[in-house]
């Protein structure tokens, strides 16, 4: 990550506690059974997220940097190592759902052990130094990324149950740690996510030319991942982006017009994908011919009606691109998005861009084990910009580069119209 | 199943309670997390067994036959239907491990609901009639079959954990409901399972001729599945079976002699299977060159040394057949096994036979939904005879026909030598 | 193979020439391009059959037994070895269609080279000895087996062309070496294959009891493969077989009655097979709603109408078994078939039996490399009895045991009704 | 394609004849059998290329535009349609090798039929008009692209034969239509492909800034595909490219240094790819420990020694990228390549770039059926720049954008070092 103004340790400890506590809270409304399954390889069990995020602090920080730290259980590293070749063997990704052990209680004890060690370290008189402080920050940002994944994985786990339960249905008294209405409503946090209405046709133009994108270091720069650096100039042609995301109503019009049946809108690999799709609609939608508009969808609150003006969600890159082709638009480049972002209503969906995930000119990955954090994935994926209601508070920023493979759609993904100016 | 002398309802209720309680007890020493995973499609989560065996009573008996019975949750049938096409849609077999809902507590409530209904029915004044009594008996035998599967599935779940825990390690105070030492020791129940020692070379001869096999109905005949009927005559050539099963020491000799490397011992499909085997040894064995005899194995008590005189276990049909070819023997026919069974030491392992699983001459499946119980599987599988320490007490008999596909070996399978007389 | 009265060398040479010439003649009506493709792994290119049958004489006989024989090209053995592990490495079965080299002309030169060496040997003064004579006989029988496969593979190659050409369409002047009308007509050779008509309901009863089956050695016994031995006694219950095979009209009635849609008629693995079947009908059938009876089929003469009274062909074991279940019948055991064969109208189709392919009691495979000929396949396949119009003249006999896996149906397979007496 | 100065019809006819003749000539040195196999789905049989390139003229031009044209055989369109959804059904790509019909002679007759129709058209008095002239040009460029594919597919077909024949070995008298030595030698055509020697370390620097790339229309602009347009400005940081490609000797140093065993050099998906690679070396290399440098490789002239100074070939994007990471370099961006191309020694290999294949800003695909030519593939592939000895004379240009998926390496692919200036 780029250099950033570090928190002082006392602040850092408070922040550490707050972030770690939120992870715990996200799991609290669940039945313990919900923490274990892995319905598809890309969805990890919540229990695994609980263990992995603690392993990250242990393996990247405590074990190599904190003298006297006792590794909680040396046999666990292969269980909770996600993809770090430098950290030795690991359980195959698709087998995470087979791990009944360690049990949930043991994983919670692991979290407590790591948290106690981190607290002692942060409360100590020791000067931690820039490298350790940077790694702690990385661990916290990492924890926040997994909070978003935990929610989307959980939605997949619950949503693929034949009984399709709602998040929180087993523990009615437990307050939900996230603002669920935000999933389908047009507003989010400080961002002006004004969807639909008269403003739906509002386009924001940009004259093009040289713009700077990426994270710039500086005393007040704040945190950024290495893939957001270095800040650099890009030359853009004139363009326009729509202030609002594509709505369910707009997407239904695409479907009604035969969008899924017309090859001309699709990339060749998207068309292959469509032909094997069990159902031609966004993920979590369920056809119900007798109810207008013919579809309902599963949400964390259970199955419910589609809100026409809410932004469409859970679409693949193929679908986002085909929709835009049908509508006579295109997807934005990530540089276009970043250049106009101060004017956009964003934050409700991760927005597919037309930019392949590549290193910025002059990019250098983090040193040490963290080098594997981002750079080795810079191939065959597409960049998404924005954030979603599942993104933890304070984790979103305009330079953020999220990335997924074109067919994946279990994240809260959406569509931003773009066009030449 | 064949006609059999029915228990009177009071006895039946006691037996019902005893058998159902044993299923519960088998799960008691586990961490709740152990009840959920499905590491391979043929292994079902224990929680699923708990639900399925209750569903069997509900769907086959209570719902169609007991007036006033309230189905516990009509949405659950597809979750706990194993393979009965007549009972409507069902969750794909390989997706049982994705079901976090219903939760364990809900499944336990389901068991209680079914048990209460069965108790009321059995305690009532009503004459249940032969058909209902026969179906209750079938349900109890079915429950016992799943008790064995529950243990072997559990062994696979625990044994495929990187941490390889023992059965019962999380609840040290809970007494184990099964006699674990029996897994590796040469004795079992009333059967004289005398393995190894001077008796290892004891062969039992049979003069051949016409023998009768299969279950014969009669007032004291006891229960049998439909696939054990009708009793019929078979013409056998003279033959001999060894009184004892093949031991670990014998199997190690086969391995040491290059048995897995010599194609001449293997069926063509077995040889293909060997070439993709990650490790050329029975399931659950682990190579440890520095410890004699070079291998250890995972058991329900955790990983331990191989006992040379214990019968080899967890071999596929391919391995059983190849071993016999190497030794100059062959596998028994199921009729040979049944004819000599009074003299055999059996009950420690399910013994692969050379008989393909086919209907007996004149076979007719059960009526109604139970027709699917056995007959539709009479293809591409091999018959196994005997029983294992995991078979519930009272469930083994000489006419029993177990059956599995040639490559499967997560059951307690073993090898009985046969030869021409 | 069993001991048999050997031909004298001069007769043997004439027979060798006749049989080898027929293989060549079968390929003559084809375009050279038809000799190369492999549309599915179980179908071998005709060019490969031409090479493989010559390799068999070279590898089993000439190279090991004929002094002074020069191997045609030592690099070719892996190309034309089918499945003999004892003969070293070989090209993967599914890659035979990728072999453009050796070219057809080179393979023909190979055949000529082998034929010249065999002629010199058979014309020589040398006493060949029983072992060599037996291997020559085996080679000729092997060649005849491949003549049948060559025709059925060819039908698959031509029948899977979008242009669906007829056998012989590219060389109108070349006389066809086989009697094509026989494919669909009810008569065949010396066998009374009287299909349909008033005789369709003619059942032949057998009282059961001990019957002898299998090949018996003796001075006039003729050739048999090792899997037909030893002759042995079997105990049968009373039964009846129908004199005629199931006709297309009967099979259409099964289809019209929803036979493919009713799970009760199918084995579990057959039902899985049906659900992924692209078209619910025998192989080579094509739906044509406007033409009675709604289906046409591809034959070696091109696509044509179904003859209602011709025996149905190209059905899998699953379909054969399901049809019988629907009709209230069952498939014959192979011993039943053999016991009644003198009275049956047979020879038009390979008839699926209910017998799994297992060794006869006391079976011993051939010695040497030929041990792999049959025995290693005695698992997971079903026995077929009879013959088809594609079986070379003189190659059919009542003790013949053909075998295929349950789903395969590119052979001329048919259905013989059986029932208890 | 962009507007271009059109040839006059007489010139065009001569050019049409020359290009079409070359396709025929490329197949002339082959055995007919070599024209049929499809060893992997991405390799098409040469016979298919012969048919497809004629179909392109028929389906895109003659049938819709030439009055009175008789389609050669309307049943053939599905056989020779490659990927044009607008042209109706087509044979699955992986099944092209199963097509024995039409025969080679029939396909040659098809070519003659199309050629005669084109000749009559081009020789007629009619003013063809800009649209038709543009489509003829497209058809000729398309034919040239398939000439390159025909050679690389042919290399794969011959190179995957166990006998590994050389191109032209069956017809020694037939002159080869291509300059085979060029495959491995450092020189090519008019390009200065000076490999190795003292010049190997020659780097060419560029100061960066705004450069224009892409095809510019104009009276003398010549042909370009639509994906090379529109010409547009790009902002580059200072950079340098090496004048020469990476040599076999350099690649061997990467291998000797453990490049294939060190995860740090590889993208995550490349590392997965390496772990399942049967042999850790470029395609067509064969390990031969006793011969320096330990490897030989298959070429169109048969297997031969590696020339250390020849540019490495047949590497995947993963390997190209990993090599550069190991060496401390990176792959060029396509804009960097184009900006410096006048100074580069290029034309021996298709050079992987670090640029994902995306539309240029303002890109619009061709109208009509040709819209599918390029644009639907602009996802998940990487751009390659340059050309190879297999590229037809006159077909290479600096703005050309070739594209393949990262793992594919049966083209003549190579590596160009790049670095920041």
What DSSP string describes B61-128?
Answer: IIHHHSTTPPPS-GGGHHHH--S-GGG-----GGGGGG---S-HHHHHHHHHHHHHHHHHHHHSSS--
Mean pLDDT, rounded, for B189-197: 44
Strands (E), C160-301: 203-206, 209-213, 232-236, 239-242, 285-287, 295-299
Q: What share of chain A is helix, strand, coil (3-state, %, to 5)?
A: 40, 15, 45
Give the model's pLDDT for residue C194. Answer: 46
Closest CA to C66 of C107, C15, C122: C122
Q: What is the pLDDT of residues C370-409, one digit of tens each?
A: 999 999 999 999 999 999 989 999 999 999 999 999 999 9
Q: For a pLDDT cut of 70, what percent of chain C falls above it? A: 93
Q: Is a pLDDT exceeding 80 seen at residue B180?
A: no
- Confidence at residue B191, expressed as pLDDT on a 0 to 100 scale: 43
Query: Which chains are adjacent to chain D, needing at least 3 Cβ pairs under 8 Å?
Result: A, C
CB atoms within 10 A of CB C39: 21
Among A83, A210, A264, the residue with its CB nearest the CB of D268 is A83
Residue of D88, D268, D375 to mutate, testing the A interface (most A Cβ within 10 Å of its Cβ): D268
pLDDT of residue C10: 74
- Greater confidence (A191 vs D369) lies with D369
Q: What is the DSSP letter of C86?
A: G
Average pLDDT, chain D: 92
The dihedral through the CA atoms of D354, D180, C79, C24 has a sign that is positive
CB distance B89 to B66 below 8 Å: no
pLDDT value of position D190: 38
For residue C372, give how far its alpha carbon lies from the nearest alpha carbon of chain B (Å).
8
Contact call for C and A: 3+ CB–CB distances under 8 Å: no
- Is the per-residue pLDDT at C234 higher than 80? yes
List % helix, strand, coil for chain C (3-state, nearest 5): 40, 15, 45
CA distance A118 to chain B (A): 26
The pair of structure tokens assigned to C365 is 């495979």
Query: Quick one: pLDDT band at residue B327, thresholds 50, 70, 90?
Result: very high
Does D99 lie at the interface with C, CB-CB under 8 angstroms? yes
Which pLDDT score, from 0 to 100, does residue C8 have?
A: 66
Contacts of residue D358, defined as CB under 8 A and 6 or more positions apart, other chains included, come to: A354, A355, A356, D378
What pLDDT score was predicted for residue C219?
A: 85
| Residue D184 and residue D299 in contact, taking contact as beta carbons nearer than 8 Å | yes
Query: For B83-241, where are the alpha helices, taking DSSP H only?
Result: 104-123, 129-159
Cα Dmax for chain B = 68
Q: Chain B: residue nearest C419 by CA? A: B362
Residue-wise pLDDT tens digits, C206-215 = 999 999 999 9
CB contact (8 A) between residue C103 and residue D157: no
Inter-chain Cβ pairs, chain B and chain C, closer than 8 A: 71
Nearest C-alpha of chain C: how many angstroms from D325?
37
Say how many CA atoms lie within 13 Å of C100 toward its Cβ.
28
* Cβ-based contacts of C235 with chain B (< 8 Å): 210, 233-235
Cβ contact D75–C163 (<8 Å): yes
Task: Report the residue of chain D nearest C31, measured CA to CA.
Answer: D103
DSSP string spanning A144-191? HHHHHHHHHHHHHHHHTSTT-PPTTTT-TTSPPSS-GGGGTSS-BTTB
Q: What is the model's pLDDT at position A99?
A: 97
Which parts of chain A register pLDDT below 50?
1-5, 182, 186-194, 196-198
Rounded Cα distance between C282 and C299, Å, is 12
Q: How far apart are CA C30 and CA C170, in angstroms?
A: 7
Distance from CA of C376 to the nearest CA of B (A): 4
Which residues from chain C sit within 8 angstroms of residue D37, using beta carbons?
36, 97-100
Name A355's bridge partners.
none
- The secondary element (H helix, E strand) that includes residue C149 is helix C129-159
Residue C180 is predicted with a pLDDT of 67
Whole-number average pLDDT of chain C: 92
Cβ pair D33:C162 closer than 8 A: no
- Is C379 close to B355, i.e. CB distance below 8 A? no
Quick one: chain D helix, strand, coil %, rounded to 5? 40, 15, 45
pLDDT of residue D7: 59
Q: Give the residue on B whose Cα is nearest the Cα of C333.
A: B361
| A181 CB within 8 Å of a chain D CB | no
Would you state the structure tokens that stand for residue B289, as one six-digit string? 């060159």
Instruction: From B97, B34, B39, select the one nearest A106 (Cα to Cα).
Output: B34
For residue D333, is pLDDT > 90? yes
More confident residue, B4 or A315: A315
Which residues lie below 8 Å from residue B172, measured CB to CB, with a gap of 6+? Answer: none
pTM for the model: 0.95
DSSP for B19-49 reads: HHHHHHHHHTTS-GGGGS--SSTTSPPHHHH
pLDDT (average), residues C234-243: 98
Instruction: Specify the pLDDT at position C200.
Output: 61
- Chain D neighbors of C165, CB-CB under 8 A: 101
Each residue's pLDDT tens digit, B119-157:
999 999 788 999 999 999 999 999 999 999 999 999 999
The 10s digit of each residue's pLDDT in D16-40 is 999 999 999 999 999 999 999 999 9
Inter-chain touch B163–A32, beta carbons under 8 Å: no
- Token digits of residue B198: 């001077």
Chain B interface includes A39 (CB < 8 A): yes
Main-chain phi, psi angles of C169, to 5 degrees: -75, -20
B341 and B405 Cβ atoms separated by less than 8 Å: no
Residue with structure tokens 């196994």? Answer: B384
| Physical contact, C and B (3 or more Cβ pairs within 8 A) | yes
Q: Check CB contact of A90 with chain D, cutoff 8 Å.
A: no
Strands (E), C244-364: 285-287, 295-299, 302-305, 350-356
Instruction: State whether B263 and C85 contact (CB < 8 Å).
Output: yes
Q: For chain D, say whether C38 makes contact (Cβ under 8 Å).
A: yes
**Residues of C in Cβ contact (< 8 Å) with D160:** 98
User: Nearest by CB to D98, which of C37, C101, C165?
Assistant: C37
Percent of chain B with pLDDT over 70: 93
Calculate mean pLDDT across residues D209-230: 95
Percent of chain B with pLDDT over 90: 85
Tell the burial category of D315 from Cβ atoms under 10 Å away from its Cβ (0-12, 13-18, 19+).
buried
pLDDT for D189 beyond 90: no
Nearest CA-CA distance, residue D239 and chain C, Å: 46
Which of chain D's residues have a Cβ under 8 Å away from the Cβ of A237? Answer: 232, 361-362
The sign of the CA dihedral B275, B281, B283, B289 is: negative
Q: What is the pLDDT of residue C418?
A: 98
Q: Answer whether D95 sits within 8 Å of C34, measured CB to CB.
A: no
Among residues of chain D, what percentage have pLDDT more than 90?
85
């Amino acid at each position: 990550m780029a250099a950033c103004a570090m928190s002082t340790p006392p602040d850092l400890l408070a922040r550490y506690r707050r972030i770690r506590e939120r992870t715990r809270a996200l799991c609290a409304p669940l039945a313990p059974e919900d923490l274990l399954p892995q319905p598809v390889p890309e969805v990890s069990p919540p229990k695994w997220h609980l263990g992995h995020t603690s392993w990250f602090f242990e393996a990247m920080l405590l074990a190599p940097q904190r003298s006297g730290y006792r590794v909680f259980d040396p046999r666990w590293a292969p269980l909770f190592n996600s993809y770090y070749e430098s950290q030795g063997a690991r359980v195959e990704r698709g087998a995470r759902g087979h791990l009944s052990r360690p049990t949930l209680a043991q994983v919670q004890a692991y979290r407590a052990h790591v948290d106690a060690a981190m607290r002692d370290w942060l409360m100590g008189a020791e000067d931690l130094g820039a490298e350790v402080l940077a790694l702690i920050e990385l661990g916290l940002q990492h924890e926040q990324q997994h909070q978003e994944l935990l929610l989307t994985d959980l939605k997949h786990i619950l949503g693929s149950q034949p009984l399709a339960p709602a998040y929180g249905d087993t523990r009615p008294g437990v307050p939900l740690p996230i603002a669920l209405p935000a999933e389908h409503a047009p507003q989010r946090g400080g961002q002006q996510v004004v969807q639909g209405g008269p403003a739906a046709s509002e386009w924001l133009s940009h004259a093009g030319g040289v713009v700077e994108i990426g994270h710039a270091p500086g005393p007040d720069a704040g945190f950024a991942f290495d893939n957001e650096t270095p800040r650099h100039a890009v030359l853009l042609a004139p363009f326009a982006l729509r202030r609002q995301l594509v709505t369910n109503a707009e997407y239904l019009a695409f479907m009604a017009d035969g969008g899924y049946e017309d090859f001309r809108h699709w990339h060749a690999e998207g068309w292959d994908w469509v032909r094997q799709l069990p159902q031609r609609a966004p993920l979590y939608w369920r056809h119900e011919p007798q109810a207008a508009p013919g579809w309902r969808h599963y949400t964390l609150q259970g199955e419910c009606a589609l809100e026409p003006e809410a932004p469409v969600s859970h679409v693949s890159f193929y679908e986002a691109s085909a929709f835009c082709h049908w509508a006579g638009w295109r997807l934005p480049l990530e540089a276009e998005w970043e250049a106009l972002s101060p004017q956009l209503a964003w934050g409700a969906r991760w927005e597919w861009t037309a930019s392949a995930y590549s290193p910025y000119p002059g990019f250098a990955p983090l040193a040490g084990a963290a080098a594997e954090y981002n750079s080795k994935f810079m191939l065959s994926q597409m960049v998404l910009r924005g954030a979603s209601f599942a993104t933890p508070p304070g984790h979103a920023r305009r330079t953020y580069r999220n990335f997924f493979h074109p067919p994946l759609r279990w994240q809260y993904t959406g569509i931003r119209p773009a066009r030449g100016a």
